[in-house]
Structures are given as structure tokens and as C-alpha cells.
Structure 1
Amino acid sequence: MSRPDGDGRRPRSTPSRRTPAGGASSRGAPAPRTTGPRRSADPARAAALDALTEVESSDAYANLVLPPLLRERGITGRDAAFTTELVYGTLRLRGRYDAILERCTRGRPLSGLDVPVRHLLRLGAHQLLGMRVPAHAAVGETVQLARERAGVGASQLVNAVLRAVGRRPLAEWLDVITAESGDEIAGLAAASSHPVWMVRALRQSLLATGRPADELPAVLEADNAGPLVSLVARPGLVSPEELREQAGRAAPAEPGRWSPLAVLLPGGDPATIPAVRRARAGVQDEGSQLVALALAAAPLTAGHDGSAPDTRWLDLCAGPGGKAALLGAVAAQQGATLVANEIAPHRAELVRRSVAAVPTGTVTVRTGDGRDVGAAEPGRYDRVLVDAPCTGLGALRRRPESRWRRTAADLTGLGPLQRALLDSALDATRPGGVVAYVTCSPHVAETRLAVDDVIRRREDAELIDAVAPLQEVSAAPLPGLGEGPTTQLWPHLHGTDAMFLALLRRR
């Protein structure tokens, strides 16, 4: 998400001058007026507050909540960009802002404040420290919104706390919270707005993949950088050139860096692009595109009967359908068919929408537990994708709210599920066929350890090299993939989500 210049537009009460990010101009900012004619709060900030409230109260995702809210309220253009940055920036940097706000509430714990007040303080802090909003506008507009939504008393608290926040620029605040955190990891977690357990896990993941630990700050910084919108041109349905032409009518479009099918946009609503509306293209991270293409390119070998068919493919956990649609399009070109299996009916419906443009008869969408497929259809498939449910630590830049929802305890439940799905996938694969085990997480427990556990228990499966197929399908040589056989993409190295890929052959 590109950061809007200034506050994204010129607010009614704000002059046109701009100040550096970090709120340096907040020193000596006048207190907001509390007398005179009443006026309504800024609609863009009000929408941001409502989106944050919905995300927290309904356990929803911002990327699903915000677009319809903006459409419903007629917020477009620079105002929409401003609202979007407010929401995503506040969610990403909530941990950092909470650490700063705790030092400005005069002993009142942030957790003891009403939920709307916490959201208002975070919104104000992001304007002061993370955007180029003049300090008097950041404080004044947020206080006005607090007065409307939480009452006069709350608005006075918001005013006092935000004025205290604005007395220091961001760099000084980061020095303060780092120094007072107790140890290096805790300080890095507070400053980078990540839970401590995630920072430790990401450090371990770097080391496990042969990356130096001193890359950790870069990983955390990449998690906090808004990504470009990544589209995929589904082969045989629309070309990347056609997709760029369509997308470029709304915003400048560029080819992807790695995937030959990718088109990158700085922002905008992909639903306005004709090919996306017709499911000939979709929103899909480049890393997600690459691992699906790598499965389609992985070499198969002959089975026990000497034959080497390549006609029956399976996506074991297909929802919401991005990889299934890409694999389905490739399968149609190669004369194969794809079964897209999804346990949740509502996610299965999303898969149906995603594959709607794939030639009829190529993709069969069905509802069922992936753990049962291997026993029900032993040895049936030539290629199987296991896009395993995971913590999503590799997509924190796209799902900023997930870092505050996940805990280390989640691994306890996910681990057995991931292993059971991989076992089922191998059972469903014919001898000589290939399984791709994929997670959008670099966590060692969800990647190498999960695969090693399954391989250790089975004599009929072996790891094969995943690096060469990934390089084969990439439009340019991918750096830092390691020596294999498994491989890991990283946001700070590749600008993709942190996708893990292991390829396993059934003996």
C-alpha cells in the first residue's frame, strides 16, 4: 500500500503545507477548539474507525471489511487512499503505537480504556508518527471524532494523550521503547510491532534456511511495508499484456518481478478490471503463483506398471481458490483435470467463483475433509497440492490483523492437521507422482519439521528438489533459495509472501 502524501487529501481544517513523517511539527501544536459551531467528524477518519471496530469485533479481515465500507459511503480517490492507509497502517503498527501510548496515558493501562478510545488513540498516533499529517490536523480531527463517538470526557483524554505523543518524533520514541524493553528481542518486537514469539520464530526460521540472523530487522520491516497489488493472468484466459492494458486504465501497471503471469499495481480496486470480474485473472501474490507453477513443472516418473500419466491433479485444501484457478488454467492447457477439494462449504463457493472462467469440465469443486481423501482415493492422482492451513506468518504485510490474533499455542493444533493432510496427499498420489507441500509461513514447525516428520514415518515417499522447478518457472533467477531440497521465499529478499515449498515423490 503506497503511503499517501500528507493526509491523502486536503482536510477542511488543514492548510496545504506538509510536514515530515514522524510528527516533528507537533511541538507547540495548539489545542483543538472545544467551543464554537459544531461540525461533523471527517468521513474518512470515521470510516477508518468503523473498519477497525468491525475487524476487532467480528474477527474479520480488513481486506474484506474496508472495500465495501468505502463503496457504501462513497469514499473514493485520495480520501479512499487516506482511509486505507489509516486502517492498514494502524493495524500493522498497533504494537508499536500501544507501547508509545502506554507511556502517555499517565499510568492508565491502555487495556483499561474503552475499545473505541483505544482505536482512536491508535489512529491518532499513526497520523502523528506514521503519516505526513500536520500535527494540529491529526490531533484536532481525531479529537472531534472522539467527541462524536465516545463523548466529551473521552475526547479530552484523546487530546491530552495525542499531544503527549506528538512531543517526540518517531525516532526518539523508538529509542525509548527499545531501551525500556529489557532485551534485544523484546525491544525489536516493540519497535517493529510484532509479538515477541513471532520475532523469535522468524529469527529461528532465518537460521534454519541458511540466512543470517542479522536479516531479522529487514524481515520485520518488510512485514510493515504495504505490498503492491499482485494480479495473476490465468494462462489461456487472458495474457499478462492484456491484463496490464486493462489494469493500467485505473492505475499504472507493471510486469511482475518473478512470475511470468504477474501484473503489479500500486493500488486501486482490482474488481474494476474486466478480466478480474470475469475470473480470467485474480488477485494472487507472486510467491503463491510460483509455488503452484512449480508443482505443474515438477518432473514425474513412471509408476510400478511402467506408465507415467499426467492427467489427474488434486488441490487438497483449495479455498479460497487462487491456486486452484491457476492450476486449473494450466491443466486445461495440458489436457489434465483438477479436483479442487475444500472442507468448508462457504470457501468451496469461493473456489467455484475463482475457477468460473476455466474451460468447462476441467475443474471439479467438491466439499470434503482433505484428511479422508487418501483413504478414499488411494493412488488416484498424478500431482497433488497441499496448501496447508498455517499461522500465516508469511503474509503479515497483507493480513496485518493476524499478528495480533495468532499465538504460539496455535501451532499445537495446526501441526497434527498439517501432517495428516500431507499423509493423505501422499496416499492419494500414484507411485511416481508428486506432492507439493506449501505454507504461507516460514515457521520451522510448519515447514521443515512437518515434512521431516512425515518422511521419517514413511518408506514410500522421498523429498525431491524444489529449487530447480521454482527457478524454471520464474521469469528471472530467484536469489537466496538455498541448496534444497526444500526452499523458502522471503518478503525482504523477493518482495513476495514468505512461501515455503517442499516437493515429495511417491515411491
Structure 2
Amino acid sequence: MRGHRMNSDHPGGYRDDRGRQRPESRRAGAKNRTATRPADRRRGGDPARKVAWEVSRAVADGAYANLELPRALRSADLHGRDAAFATELTYGAIRMRGLYDAIIEFAAGRPVGQIDPPVLDSLRIGAHQILGMRVPPHAAASETVALAREVNGTGASGFVNAVLRRVTERTREEWIREVTAGRSTDEALAVEHSHPTWIVRALRGALRADGISDDADLDVALVSLLEADNAAPAVSLVARPGLATVQELVDAGAEPSKLSPVGAVLPSGDPAEIAAVRQTRAAVQDEGSQLVALALAAAPRRAEGPQDWLDLCAGPGGKAALLAALSTEQPDTTVFVNEISEHRTELVRRTLRAAIDAGIEVMIGTGDGRDLGAEEPDTYERVLVDAPCTGLGALRRRPEARWRRSPGDVTDLTAIQAELLRSALDATVDGGVVAYVTCSPHVAETTAVVHEVVHGRQDVVVEDARPLFRDAAGEQLQQLGDHPTVQLWPHVHGTDAMFFALLRKSASPES
């Protein structure tokens, strides 16, 4: 990288007696020459690696990998193994950047904050190939240097070459021992498993609150959870009842879910190639999200007759679409769908297109869910509060999320969550139910919010939700926690870490 001065013991080369910087591979008697000699150098990186770098750059500017990557793959016309390689490289480099940055700092002899961000992304991509994929180290370094030459410039490519050569000198396990030495347990786990330390501590607290009190068991569970966060998740599909069937998805190449009675798992391929998905009769949806919608729909009724359901904060509409399909199993039911953002309301409309075309009673509107309880009190039989949250339960699907959140976000979000839950309870009829759901296991966002809202109210009871969670065979799911609320886990159930509380509203003593 131009302008970087490095000592002779640093991996960027050294300065000769005239002050000229010379590359490491040209030192007298240099060993382990790389394939980046002039005769062997590629002028540019291969398309798959370039896609990974471009998506990493877009994510650094605020994009979401799961939205940006498909566009980049289409633009580069990558398919099959090339697309799979680009996907693993993209997600792995973003997901594991905490570990790789610690290793890069050591190998470069400088903090990553002193490395130009576009060059740092090239280094992360190289590090993931060397330490996290089955790419021969020699080829990983060579190809990444070629990429860096194209996207970062010739000067930077020499720096990338030198750092990655240093990275190849140790195994992943050796590097982990090096960069975690002297750290506390949670700090070491944070580096090794590439999670911010505050998230590791929050997950430890959530596991403890879930009933694991023995420290040894807690450590084992925490490591399993962190590993699950870093494992590429399967593509889960939902067949919206009355619009599609699981068998239709199986005929398209999926396998029936063992966890969700309306779910399937796609082992390979593009879900957009399935007709039912393109037509919104089916969709990509985590099995945990399917289970919470199924649980709300299955909650016992306290009165007969027509009923109105409400999804209070629905965007982008996956759970609302499943609820709409499930509502057809209960006569005279209308589903109302609310979203605060006009843009996300439009996403909800698209998601619900097949349900609306099929004549299912769905009403979609835009408004602040915190106001709806006062505007429409005692109106709805079932209300879903899928509250905005930190998303710590979906880190395996959203690799950039762990780097964008901070402890301060929790305070802001819990205030909103409590307001939404209060509004939902006010909007619910006596005898009706509210499902409070978060895609986060953080105690502050789950049981703490429920306790805060329920405390002091005489018209709300937290019911045992565990019997409502049943697998595809109809059996009750196990290991749901020691409380009436439900906590799903990636390392236990194979789902996102969804939290679910069922609140039953009864007539207040003043009524």
C-alpha cells in the first residue's frame, strides 16, 4: 500500500540502503517464494473472489449481504460451484472478521484501523480462504493478491501478499492460541468465534436465564451456540397452507422439515426457481418463524364467532402471510396487517399477494403500532407483536448484524418493544391473546420486557406457551426452557433464536 513504511521485520518488505522499498520476495536468499513472481502473476482476480470483495464493500457502506449477494452473482453471471464459492467466501469473510482482524493485526504489525478499508476487505477474503476454506494456502494467497492488484492497486497488492504469506505460516488453531492468549474467558471466546464481547456476555446471560446454572454446562452450551451462529444455515421454506403444500416443495427438490408441519428444507439450488416461491404461495422462512406463527394460530379461543387478527409490526410480512393462510382454517376471520413504514408496507403487500389473490380476508395499513391500542381498543382476538430487536438470534443468517449493533441499541429497542406490547394488549379483546416475539434471546429484550409490561396490570396472564410448539409429527418440542415462555436456539433446535411469550387478556377488576 503506497505510503506505508515498514521495518525489515514487518511483512511488507524492507528499505535498501537507498531508501527504496523492495518486496519481501526479492530479499537476498529469500525463501518460500510465492506464485506472484512477474511470470506467474494474474492481472486480475477471478470473478467469484471479486464478487465477495464487492459485496464486502457494499456491506461496509450499509448494504445487507443477503440482498446484495444475489444481485452481484447475477451481475457476474455466476452459477453452480462458482456461485457457491462466492457465497461461502462472502459470508465467511464477513462473519469471521473478528478473528481474522486479530490475526491480520498480528501478521501486519499494525492495528486494522490503520489499514485502508478496501485493502482490509481483501485481506479478510484471503484469510478466510487460508483459514476457513479448503483452498490450498498457496493458491489462496496468489489469487487474493491478483484480486488486490485489480481492486486495490499494485502497491497495495504487495502489502496483501506479504501479510497473507505471514498468515499461511500458522494453522488456524495456532493463530487462535496466539491471538487469544492472556484474554478473559469471554474475551477469548469473542475473538475465537468472531462475536463482539458484549454479545458473548449477553448470550451467556440468556443461556443462564434459560435454566443452565452449572458453569461447566454453561460454557459448553455457549461454545455450541457461538459455533452454530457461524455455521451456514440451511435454506428453510414454508408452504403457506391452502396456497401451497409441502409435497409441492418436495417435488421441486426440497426435503420435508422434521420441525415444522408446513416447512421444507432446500439442500441446494436457488429457491427463486421454485414456482410456488416466485408466486408467493411459498417462501423462504426460518422454521423458528414458522413455529411462532403456528403457535399463535393454535392458541385456544375463549369465545366463538367472527374474529379479527392483527400483525402489529409486520414488515416485511413473512409471519403475516403465514397467519393469513392459517386464518382460513377458522371461519369468519379477518387478518389486519400494520407496518409503520410505507416502503415496508409495500413489501408486505408483495409478500401477501398470493393470499389476497386467493380471496383471503386481509387488510393492510400503515401506522405506528404504538398508537393502535389507543385508536382501536378491545378490538382483536389475536395479536402478533414481532417486535423490532437487535436480531442477535439470527446472526447465522445476517453475518453483518453482529458488527452493526452496540449495547446502546438494546436500551433504545427495549423502550420501543415495551410500548408496542402495551399497545397490543390495549387493542386486544377480553379473552384474546397477544404473542410477543423477538428474534433475539437477549434477556433485556425478552422476559424483561414481558415482566415490565405485565407488572402492575391486573388484566393480563402469561400462559404456558410450550404445548403450542409441535413438530411436523405433532410431538411437543423439547428443551424450550423452564418458563411458560419459549426460547428456541440454533444449537438445540436448528432455528433462529426466537423468543415467544403468550399473554392472555382477561377482564380487569374495574370492568
Q: TM-score, normalised by structure 1?
A: 0.90
RMSD: 1.5
Q: Are residues 1:339 and 2:345 paired?
A: no
Q: Are residues 1:42 and 2:39 paired?
A: no
Alignment equivalent of 2:84, drawn from 81, 99, 122:
81
- Contact 1:231 1:284 (C-alpha < 8 Å) held by counterparts: yes
For residue 495 of structure 2, what is the aligned residue in structure 1? 496
> Once the 2 structures are TM-superposed, how far is the Cα of residue 268 of structure 1 from its aligned partner?
2.5
Give the letter aligned to residue 258 of structure 2. R
Distance change in 2, residues 1:267/1:128 (3 Å): same
Distance change in 2, residues 1:95/1:472 (3 Å): closer
> Once the 2 structures are TM-superposed, how far is the Cα of residue 297 of structure 1 from its aligned partner?
0.4
Aligned residue for 1:437, secondary structure, equals: strand
Matching of residues 223-242 of structure 1 within 5 Å:
223-242=229-248
> Once the 2 structures are TM-superposed, how far is the Cα of residue 145 of structure 1 from its aligned partner?
1.0
Give the letter aligned to residue 486 of structure 2. T
For residue 213 of structure 1, what is the aligned residue in structure 2? 218
> Once the 2 structures are TM-superposed, how far is the Cα of residue 36 of structure 1 from its aligned partner?
6.3
Matching of residues 302-451 of structure 1 within 5 Å:
302=303, 308-309=304-305, 311-335=307-331, 336-358=333-355, 359-451=358-450
Distance 1:37 1:498 in 2: 46
Distance change in 2, residues 1:38/1:98 (3 Å): closer
> Once the 2 structures are TM-superposed, how far is the Cα of residue 28 of structure 1 from its aligned partner?
4.4
Q: Are residues 1:63 and 2:66 paired?
A: yes
Distance 2:306 2:89 in 1: 48
Distance change in 2, residues 1:502/1:204 (3 Å): same
1:319-373 per-residue CA deviation (whole Å, 9 max, x = no partner) reads: 0010000000011232211001000111111111111111325111111100011
Greater Cα offset, 469-478 or 400-409: 469-478
1:264-320 per-residue CA deviation (whole Å, 9 max, x = no partner) reads: 012332111100000000110000000000000011224xxxxx4452100001000
Give the letter aligned to residue 30 of structure 1. T
Aligned residue for 2:384, secondary structure, equals: strand
- Contact 2:325 2:360 (C-alpha < 8 Å) held by counterparts: no
For residue 302 of structure 2, what is the aligned residue in structure 1? 301
Work out which of the two has the higher radius of gyration on C-alpha atoms and give 1 or 2.
2
> Once the 2 structures are TM-superposed, how far is the Cα of residue 31 of structure 1 from its aligned partner?
4.4
Distance 2:42 2:400 in 1: 34
Distance 2:423 2:197 in 1: 34
Q: Percent identity?
A: 58
Aligned residue for 2:325, secondary structure, equals: helix
- Contact 2:262 2:472 (C-alpha < 8 Å) held by counterparts: no
Distance 1:38 1:256 in 2: 45
For residue 291 of structure 1, what is the aligned residue in structure 2? 292
Distance 1:503 1:168 in 2: 51
Distance 1:116 1:130 in 2: 20
Q: TM-score, normalised by structure 2?
A: 0.89
For these two proteins, the number of residue pairs brought into alignment is 468
For residue 136 of structure 1, what is the aligned residue in structure 2? 138
Greater Cα offset, 215-224 or 67-76: 67-76
Distance 2:404 2:251 in 1: 39
1:394-430 per-residue CA deviation (whole Å, 9 max, x = no partner) reads: 0000001000000011011101100000000000100
> Once the 2 structures are TM-superposed, how far is the Cα of residue 473 of structure 1 from its aligned partner?
7.4
Give the letter aligned to residue 264 of structure 2. V
Distance 1:431 1:409 in 2: 36
- Contact 2:130 2:168 (C-alpha < 8 Å) held by counterparts: yes
Give the letter aligned to residue 43 of structure 2. R
- Contact 2:35 2:41 (C-alpha < 8 Å) held by counterparts: no
Distance 1:343 1:502 in 2: 23
List alignment gaps of at least 5 residues for structure 1: 1-26, 303-307
- Contact 2:383 2:428 (C-alpha < 8 Å) held by counterparts: yes
Give the letter aligned to residue 218 of structure 2. A
Aligned residue for 2:57, secondary structure, equals: helix
Greater Cα offset, 440-449 or 135-144: 135-144
Give the letter aligned to residue 154 of structure 1. A
- Contact 1:338 1:362 (C-alpha < 8 Å) held by counterparts: yes
Give the letter aligned to residue 246 of structure 2. P
- Contact 1:29 1:136 (C-alpha < 8 Å) held by counterparts: no
> Once the 2 structures are TM-superposed, how far is the Cα of residue 177 of structure 1 from its aligned partner?
1.7
